[in-house]
Structure 1
Amino acid sequence: MKEVYKQVIISCPSMVGDNNKFTILKLIKNSNGISRQDISRTLKLSAPAVSKNVAALISAGIIREEGTDETRLGRKPVLLKYNSNLMYVLGIEIMPRGLRGAISDLCGNVISQYNVPSDIEKGTNGVLVRLRELIEFLLEKKPEGGDVTTAGIAVPGLTDKKIDFNLISTFIDEWNAVDVKSYVEDNFKISAIVMNDVELDLIGECWIGAGKDYNNILLVKYGDGFAARSMINGMLLTGANRAAGEIGYYLPSINDVRQSFFSPGVTENKLCREVLKQYGADSKRKISFSELLKKADEGDATACSIVEKVVDDLAVIINNIVLVIDPEVVILGSEAAFLRDQDINRIKDILCKTSPAVPEIRVSQLRENAGVMGGIKVAITSAEENLINYWK
């Protein structure tokens, strides 16, 4: 199949030209200014081919001439730079506790960020009103020039239409009927890419966070929910139903089998709800795990006991996943990113005693912004795939 595809490309001059333009564009984007001569030398393309393709990219407004290479003797070659302001994109995360978003250029430079509460207690309409407020705010922050073309949106649930579940639906019964993609595209005329929040957390960390130097990664997100996603040999592992990594449904023992399936899963319900309720059982507000860690640091015996239990449970589950996918690194996201050195060392110690290959354990670098930055990354990728329309 690969050979047939390759032959088709070679036999079609227009496709060869498009491929050359994308290759040249990628090189220009990844450099801080590069000359035509260096493009020709790096890509082993003829000078006429480079000049022709560069002229088309300049005419389309995708790149521009800016400055000269002062390191050269004699006539200074003109440098080419990527026009990152040609279009803008949004990254958005919709979670039960709130919505957050950012607008960026095509190089991922964030122009503005904004957070709003979810108003989940007001039902579906409350969340959608807040989503509209968030997007309208970000659109107002767009600089003059290019349009906002694409939004990458993180949602806490499975995005495969065959499986209808979203974490917000545990608070709002009718939320599963909401089509976020259509809502954004119909109301704002922006192309929307809706993905699982942990997938986008992982993509964000791989792009500019704790996973950027690795090809085999496990990201475990523990907070309002409990799930994981993994990257194997540089490819996102999704499974047949995009459900690979739904460890909230992890079955601790046969005694935990329910009469029928329902959400949240046994382990998620235990770690994200039941365990945390043990602290301040009389309080109406559930304490977060990060708050519990602070209590433990202050010497609160109950908090220390609960944290120890959660860390041990996380270690067991992480160990079992590590045995299956053999990652280079495990990234702890959401509330787990606040784990202390002693907690991480506890997880490492358990893995060292039970796993033949022990990965690095790192906390998220992007923290609460991981999903938003992952959304920006997929939005940029999608927007750039459509650049072909600019030179056609």
Structure 2
Amino acid sequence: MNYNRADKKLIKKINTVSILKIIRERGPISRADISKMIGLNPATVSSNVSGLLKRKLIKEVGSGESSGGRKPILLELNSSEIYVIGVDMGIKKVSAGLIDIDGSIIQKVTLQYPEKAKQENVLETIKESIYEVVKKEDDDFNKIIGIGMGIHGIVDIEKGLLSYAPAFDCHDVDIVSIFKNEFKTPVIIDNDVRVMALGEKWFGKAKEAQNFVLLNIGTGIGAGIYLNGKLYRGNNFGAGEIGHVSISDKKIKCKCGEYGCFEAIASGTGIVTRFIEELKQGSSSSILNRIDVFHITSEEIYKEALRGDKLSIQILKETGNYIGAGISMLINILNPEMILIAGGVSKAGKFIFEGVQRAVSKKSINNNLKFLYIGETDLKENAGIVGAATLIIKDIFSV
């Protein structure tokens, strides 16, 4: 009998999720049309719809066209009543967003970590960002059904742990328990770049893609990988660490301890390192007329390139070649249909993308370039918070 009860409960959940998916994809839609589309009898559909209405996941939105009797009442997602918090934990800052179940951003807050932030500083700043984003909307937590978090580092999604974050020297931090206890709501976590890929799959450019890679190039470099329509995490949740593949014989040390890593060479940090090395070797740049060498950032280099500074342009064009070399590895190994580039470095596309295309063409197997799209994400700088929120949204639509 226990098995029978479990089976009935599972069947009801499967039916409810199926109905919810149809409403999301086809709404506004009537109960009768739902019944026809998924082959459930009208009474089962009405019972499940009643439960979804009580949970405020859907709402009634007027009447449809009559086919002879009473006009049918139409249903759609109740995006104005159900919110999710999405958290994007970066290396230098955290962004938190209040997101509806259509993936739209209601409010967003970005906070910088303190100088030389340790684990406790980072966690407190993340908590502050969540409280701040809800306060800005002048709302409480009653409408929030969960917190999704994109976490820098290696994340054990089954245990809810941040296994290792090299930027903060964090090991085995129970992120889910910490934030679930603080905010009294469900919490789901995953690696920061993987949630960006998830967001693009649900709400961005990759909706129809089955095999794609999202390459995030900012302070660090990482990849979120979709294979055969599913997010690939690897055997120990370590998939996508493309930043620690060697692409150069330059003696630039990576934070992993090795030299010539993709991240050490082509990330925002790598751009600054190579720029300063050129200055030390006697190259000149107009950037020194504005700021001293200690305040040079990749963003400032980009701004100077827009002003025509030759060294800034040179460094960014070289960066395009390095990024192309890294992308060609992904192309040759995975043969994806799409590679999406996200992160701050992608903003310098005017100087970078020509080099990317040139290196990709030179270093990739020609067959794997057929029908391949390479370009920016749709969600751009919001990919992190929307993707993190999608962890919770996806859970609603899953059995």
Same fold, TM exceeding 0.5?
yes
What is the CA deviation profile of residues 276-299 of structure 1, one whole-angstrom value per residue up to 9, with x for unaligned ones?
2343556112412x4323322322
Which of 154, 158, 163 in structure 1 is aligned with 2:154? 158
Identity fraction in percent: 26
Q: How far did 1:306 drift?
A: 1.1
Query: What is the root-mean-square deviation of aligned Cα atoms in Å?
Result: 3.2
What is the CA deviation profile of residues 316-372 of structure 1, one whole-angstrom value per residue up to 9, with x for unaligned ones?
111121011001111111023214356323322333344222121111222221111
Q: Which residue of 2 aligns with 1:47?
A: 42
Do the aligned partners of residues 29 and 267 (structure 1) sit closer, same or farther apart at CA in structure 2, a change above 3 Å counting?
Answer: closer
Give the alignment of 1:150-189 within 5 angstroms: 150-160=146-156, 164-169=163-168, 173=169, 175-176=170-171, 178-189=173-184
In structure 1, the gaps of 5 or more residues are 1-7, 387-392
Distance in 2, Cα, partners of 1:368 & 1:329: 19
Distance in 2, Cα, partners of 1:96 & 1:77: 52
Give the alignment of 1:207-226 within 5 angstroms: 207-226=202-221
Give the alignment of 1:249-264 within 5 angstroms: 249-252=244-247, 262=257
- Which amino acid in structure 2 is aligned with residue 159 of structure 1? V
Distance in 2, Cα, partners of 1:163 & 1:94: 12
Do the aligned partners of residues 145 and 312 (structure 1) sit closer, same or farther apart at CA in structure 2, a change above 3 Å counting?
Answer: closer
Q: Which residue of 2 aligns with 1:69?
A: 64
Give the TM-score normalised by the residue count of structure 1.
0.83
Q: Which residue of 2 aligns with 1:345?
A: 354
Conserved 8 A contact 2:134-2:140: no
Q: Which residue of 1 aligns with 2:316?
A: 307
1:199 paired to 2:198:
no
Q: Which residue of 2 aligns with 1:379?
A: 392
- Which amino acid in structure 2 is aligned with residue 375 of structure 1? A
Q: Which moved more, 1:322-331 or 1:340-349?
A: 340-349
Q: Which residue of 1 aligns with 2:113?
A: 118
- Which amino acid in structure 1 is aligned with residue 182 of structure 2? N
Distance in 1, Cα, partners of 2:358 & 2:99: 41
Q: Which residue of 2 aligns with 1:82?
A: 77
Do the aligned partners of residues 252 and 340 (structure 1) sit closer, same or farther apart at CA in structure 2, a change above 3 Å counting?
Answer: closer
Q: How far did 1:385 drift?
A: 5.2
Q: Which residue of 2 aligns with 1:239?
A: 234
Conserved 8 A contact 1:93-1:153: yes
Distance in 1, Cα, partners of 2:357 & 2:200: 21
Conserved 8 A contact 2:322-2:356: no
Q: Which residue of 2 aligns with 1:285?
A: 295
Distance in 2, Cα, partners of 1:122 & 1:62: 39
Q: How far did 1:210 drift?
A: 2.8
In structure 2, the gaps of 5 or more residues are 280-291
Distance in 1, Cα, partners of 2:4 & 2:342: 42
Distance in 2, Cα, partners of 1:117 & 1:261: 24
Q: How far did 1:119 drift?
A: 1.5
Distance in 2, Cα, partners of 1:168 & 1:261: 10
